Amino acid sequence: MNEVEEIYLLMLTFLHINYLQIKCVNYMETELLVKFILTLMKSESYHLIRLLCFSIPTADDKMVRKLETIIIVKNLLWNCTIKLIGDNIYVLKSSHSSLNMSITLIENLSNEFFFEIFEYLDGYEIYQTFSNLNHRFQQLINSSSLLLKFNYHYLTTSDKIHMNNFKQFLLNHKHQIVLFYMGISMESQPCLQK
């Protein structure tokens, strides 16, 4: 069974998939898969798929423009957005429904998608933005799969309650911390000056 047949079988088996990420070896493979998946989505009732991600080691803006052209010329997907983030090309199917659908979309994205986003954020930003947002994000933050990086410059706050909560967060998640950067200015530390 080749990759296209495997993807077809996967899509037939799991009709409620809304995020599909595929690791591709090269652009030609990606182009073939985009054509196949979008044609399948158009002809069959795979309306739940909202986000496709193609991981390509050599992804660049030129590939994104080619895929946009293919999608438009072949009329494969109406009203979509294509973005390049790192080695990933994302094809997001836009929705005409109300704001509730947009909220549902973010809730339906996979944990791996959020872990990938978290890689670009400082641990303090993750804590401030996502802690206590809802049960799912609390579980993501507490997951041992999430590795945290901290930059001490983000930690300057005059709110003692917030700082104490954050210190507790650091202690509770010390097994997840892989990087802690501290930059100390000699001018701000008189005890370090000679």
140-167 per-position pLDDT tens digit = 888 888 888 877 655 555 667 777 877 8
Q: What is the CATH number of the domain that holds 70?
A: 3.30.110
59 and 142: one domain? no
Q: Which is more confidently placed, 48 or 165?
A: 165
Does 97 lie in the same domain as 13? Answer: yes
97: in domain: yes
Q: Do residues 103 and 8 share a domain?
A: yes
pLDDT of residue 145: 85
Considering the domain architecture, whether residues 59 and 81 belong to the same structural domain is answered as yes
User: 102 and 7: one domain?
Assistant: yes
Find the DSSP H helices in the chain: 3-13, 27-43, 61-73, 99-108, 111-118, 123-130, 135-142, 160-172
The residue behind tokens 């000699």 is: 186
- Report how far residue 157's alpha carbon sits from residue 180's, in angstroms, rounded to the nearest whole number: 17
Rounded distance between C-alpha atoms, residue 122 and residue 149, angstroms: 6
Residues 30, 71 share a domain: yes
| pLDDT band per the 50, 70, 90 thresholds, residue 103 | very low
Q: Give yes or no: residues 132 and 147 share one domain.
A: yes
Q: How far is CA 15 from CA 9, 18, 44, 46, 92, in A?
A: 10, 9, 11, 7, 18
Instruction: Return the pLDDT at 101.
Output: 42
- Asked if the model's pLDDT at residue 62 lies above 60, the reply is yes
The verdict on residue 189 lying in a domain is no
Q: Is position 72 within any domain?
A: yes
Structural domain that includes position 172: 113-181
Based on the structure, what is the number of domains in the chain? 2
168 vs 82: CA distance, rounded Å: 40
pLDDT at 194 over 80: no
User: 146: closest CA among 168, 176, 188, 170?
Assistant: 176
Same domain, 27 and 117: no
Q: What is the predicted pLDDT for the residue at 183?
A: 60
Determine the average pLDDT of the residues in 92-104: 51
**Cβ neighbours of residue 18 closer than 8 Å, sequence gap 6 or more:** 48, 49, 50, 51, 105, 108, 109
Pick 90 or 154 by higher pLDDT: 90
Check if the beta carbon of residue 77 is closer than 8 Å to that of residue 71.
Answer: yes
| 148-151 vs 177-181, strand pairing mode | parallel
Q: What percentage of the chain reaches a pLDDT higher than 70? A: 75
Among 66, 88, 107, give the residue marking a domain's end.
107
The domain boundary residue, chosen from 47, 77, 107: 107
Last residue of a domain, one of 87, 107, 127: 107
pTM for the predicted model, two decimal places: 0.45
Q: Please give the share of the chain, as a percent, with pLDDT higher than 90.
A: 0
